[in-house]
Amino acid sequence: MGFSLSIFHKISDYQWEIPASYRHDLRVPVRFLATRKVLEAALDDLSVEQALNAATLPGLAGPVVIMPDMHQGYGFPIGGVAAMLYPQGVISPGAIGYDINCGVRLLASAVPFEAAAPLLDKLSAALDSACPSGVGAKGALHLTDADLSAVCRQGAAWAVKKGLGSAADLRRAEDGGALDGADPTRLSARARERGREQLGTVGSGNHFVEVAVVSDILDPAAAQTLGLFPGCLTLMIHCGSRGLGHQVCTDYVHDFQSAVQRYGIQLPDRELVCAPLNSPEGQAYLAAMRAAANYAFCNRQILAHNARQAFEQVFAGRVRHAELQPVYDITHNMGKIETHLIDGQNVKVCVHRKGATRAFGPGAPGLPPEYQSLGQPVLVPGSMGTESWVLVGQSASMDLTYGSCCHGAGRVMSRSQAKRTVRGDALKRQLEDSGIQIRAGSLSGLAEEAPQAYKDVQMVVETVVGAGIARQVARLRPVAVIKG
Amino acid sequence: MKKTTAGYREISHTADWALQVWAPDLSGLLVQAARGMTALLDLQLAEAPRLEHLLTLDAADPESLLVSFLTEILYINEQEHLGFDAFQVSLDGLHLEARLWGAPVTTQRKEIKAVTYHQLAIQTTPHGLETTLVFDV
């Protein structure tokens, strides 16, 4: 807190930078993708300080980059992207986050909203039942130890092999819904225990299942390729690796407290503890993080299957074309080995994205063949009362942000203030009056997630589009939200 | 507002939850932190059966002991569906022995993903010790 706009060097209307010379311990500059308005709003919390602290990590390959949905988190701010030289740089569990591979999956249908509207209440109830959410929610699957290891190795493919999805689901997911190099033996007994009963659950906090209508299409050709039809229903799932992932991060943040001493690493925040990627500690975390990431991919796959069954249960015999087709599945909290052009050279790096998504441009490796000419879909949820956006990554993201983009609207109001100023029951009524069905496990939790606690998603999207890292395809208007 | 000798209060944090905690000594600080975290979880406990849970921990430094202690309580809460409303902590250096009293959880409205080390430093004040904890939610 206490930063002034004067410390930022303006590069363009959408890019600002704090030079490495600002503080003696900074190894690289910090670049903010923001308009003046976005930046001014960020001065009110600790996000700038947290971004500066991340710029002290050893082995950074280039500037730390902060997205316009930035806000204060712990260690690294939400909306942060950092590229560490591989393998001599470090990996920091706290700079990736506790909810490893928290992410978003979008599915689309050809069901017109008008046909679905009379059944929306039934659909909300069916989704609420099919996608367990809230504190202590357990999934219908009870995994053996061998099952859990297979989930952590195979990711979404584990569910597809069991008939809970299709090959298209895997093709239309970041990394095909599974990261190579996952090693379930790197998980603690506690992580395994916590993961055993939570597969196929949404969780709480800002996680949700949302039915929306494609309200605006800005790029008809791209929308058609993505399977988005004007006026038709979509379904978005936001969740992650549940207790298994939280435990992986807890375990390794704890272990790395001593690792930083062994490797002589000094940091301004103990939450940023790290270990060299080529050290036994770094390799162990990388393998455990990938196992947790695969659990999260599988979690969203199972929830997508359950949501499809809910659609079928409600719409069968009443509405045609009720199938939910995959649009894409993207990840938010991850460390990934990628190659980026840095200072004119192709450099292998471990990109830490915390509350930020990958957003590769057209022609990038790893995109499904049908999306090669478009770029990677980028899914930007707003808040439960406001629009969400479907964007596609542009080539400039490779130059400016290590192929990354914003992950949502970003919070602007603290949870404590939201609880003081918003009544959960009144908010529920207000949202329902505006045509949005709400199923919430906790009214106080609902209040913490009130739309007014979030930034204007339009402003965030305009910033990434203005910076040239993504372009708009479609806008989604929420009509039913299931929250824990 | 004048502070009591030991206590906790929720402070503003944009994305997560933060608690300011103070007490005359480290064992008191651990107890206040556990009480504060329990309040954030918004638990309702069954009237019976009352249960006692014993906990033993060692840590490299006071901040790690605080994180480990709270993390243990969260793990028991999630795995055994127990909540605690009374805490007794004995310390021998950085060796902790704690007795937790509580009961099965009947309703729980909030979940904490993790206790973080974010800027965690236990400060000495004229009245004892004070710190700020950030919880990922």
Contacts of B67 in chain A (CB under 8 A): 254
Which are the contacts of B46, defined by CB distance < 8 A and separation ≥ 6?
B103, B104, B105, B106
Best CA proximity match to A390, nearest among A227, A204, A166: A227
Residue-level pLDDT at B68: 98
Q: Which residue has the tokens 């316009």?
A: A68
The C-alpha of B119 sits at a distance from chain A's nearest C-alpha, in angstroms, of 5
Residue-level pLDDT at B2: 59
B63 has a chain A CB within 8 A of its CB: yes
- A422 pLDDT higher than 90: yes
How far is Cα A187 from Cα A189, in angstroms, rounded to an integer?
A: 7
How far is Cα A57 from Cα A267, in angstroms, rounded to an integer?
A: 7
Quote the radius of gyration of chain A (alpha carbons, Å): 21
Q: Which two tokens stand for residue A54?
A: 């991340």
Q: Which two tokens stand for residue A374?
A: 């478009």
How far is Cα A65 from Cα A401, in angstroms, rounded to an integer?
A: 6
- Listed by number, the residues of chain A in 56-75 with a beta carbon closer than 8 Å to a beta carbon of chain B are 71-75
Residue-level pLDDT at A2: 75
Beta carbons of A189 and A141 less than 8 angstroms apart: no
- Using alpha carbons, list the distances in angstroms from residue B14 to A72, A227, A412, A413, A440: 6, 36, 6, 6, 21
Residue-level pLDDT at A416: 87
The total number of residues written for chain B in this structure: 137
Q: Chains A and B: how many Cβ contacts under 8 Å?
A: 108
Stretch A162-190: mean pLDDT, rounded?
A: 98
Model confidence pLDDT, tens digit, residues A353-381: 999 999 999 999 999 999 999 999 999 99
Model confidence pLDDT, tens digit, residues A40-84: 989 988 999 999 999 999 999 999 999 999 999 999 999 999 999
Q: Please provide the average confidence, as pLDDT, over all residues in chain A.
A: 96
Residue-level pLDDT at A441: 84
Model confidence pLDDT, tens digit, residues A209-264: 999 999 999 999 999 999 999 999 999 999 999 999 999 999 999 999 999 999 99
Please give the ipTM for the structure prediction: 0.96
Stretch A339-350: mean pLDDT, rounded?
A: 96
How far is Cα B98 from Cα B108, in angstroms, rounded to an integer?
A: 23
Beta carbons of A236 and A283 less than 8 angstroms apart: no
- Using alpha carbons, list the distances in angstroms from residue A332 to A52, A378, A405, A412: 21, 11, 10, 19
Model confidence pLDDT, tens digit, residues A438-484: 999 888 889 999 999 999 999 999 999 999 999 999 999 999 999 97
The C-alpha of A471 sits at a distance from chain B's nearest C-alpha, in angstroms, of 27
Q: Is A173 exposed, middle or buried (0-12, 13-18, 19+ CB in 10 A)?
A: buried
Q: Judge whether A340 counts as a catalytic residue.
A: no
- A100 pLDDT higher than 60: yes
Q: How confident is the model at residue B109 (pLDDT cuts 50, 70, 90)?
A: confident
- Listed by number, the residues of chain A in 412-441 with a beta carbon closer than 8 Å to a beta carbon of chain B are 412-417, 441
Is the backbone of residue A150 left (phi > 0), alpha (psi -120 to 50) or beta?
Answer: alpha
Residue-level pLDDT at A1: 56
How far is Cα B10 from Cα B39, in angstroms, rounded to an integer?
A: 10
How far is Cα A128 from Cα A122, in angstroms, rounded to an integer?
A: 10
- Listed by number, the residues of chain A in 163-222 with a beta carbon closer than 8 Å to a beta carbon of chain B are 190, 193-194, 203-205
CB pair distance less than 8 Å for A415 and B109: no
Beta carbons of A80 and A355 less than 8 angstroms apart: yes
Q: Which amino acid is at A185?
A: T
- Reduce the secondary structure of chain B to three states and give it as a string: CCCCCCEEEEECCCCCEEEEEEECCHHHHHHHHHHHHHHHHCEEECCCCCEEEEEEEECCCHHHHHHHHHHHHHHHHHHHCEEEEEEEEEEECCEEEEEEEEEEEEEECCCCCEECCCCCCCEEECCEEEEEEEEEC
- B117 pLDDT higher than 60: yes
The C-alpha of A72 sits at a distance from chain B's nearest C-alpha, in angstroms, of 6
Model confidence pLDDT, tens digit, residues B5-23: 999 999 988 888 999 999 9
Beta carbons of B51 and B101 less than 8 angstroms apart: yes
Alpha-carbon dihedral of residues B82, B83, B87, B91, nearest 10 degrees? 50
Residue-level pLDDT at B1: 55
How far is Cα A206 from Cα B59, in angstroms, rounded to an integer?
A: 33
List the end-to-end C-alpha distance of chain B, in Å, as a whole number.
Answer: 28
Residue-level pLDDT at B14: 86
How far is Cα A3 from Cα B77, in angstroms, rounded to an integer?
A: 40
Residue-level pLDDT at A354: 98
pTM for this one? 0.97
Q: How confident is the model at residue A309 (pLDDT cuts 50, 70, 90)?
A: very high
Stretch B28-52: mean pLDDT, rounded?
A: 97
Q: How confident is the model at residue A137 (pLDDT cuts 50, 70, 90)?
A: confident
- How many other β-carbons are positioned within 10 Å of the β-carbon of residue A283? 18
- Using alpha carbons, list the distances in angstroms from residue A399 to A32, A83, A346, A464: 14, 13, 12, 13
Contacts of B111 in chain A (CB under 8 A): 135-136, 203-205, 484
Model confidence pLDDT, tens digit, residues B41-96: 999 999 999 999 999 999 999 999 999 999 999 999 999 999 999 999 999 999 99
Q: Which two tokens stand for residue A7?
A: 């410390």
The torsion angles phi and psi of A429, rounded to 5 degrees, stand at -60, -45
Q: Which amino acid is at A51?
A: A
- How many other β-carbons are positioned within 10 Å of the β-carbon of residue A397? 26
Q: Which two tokens stand for residue A102?
A: 């928290």
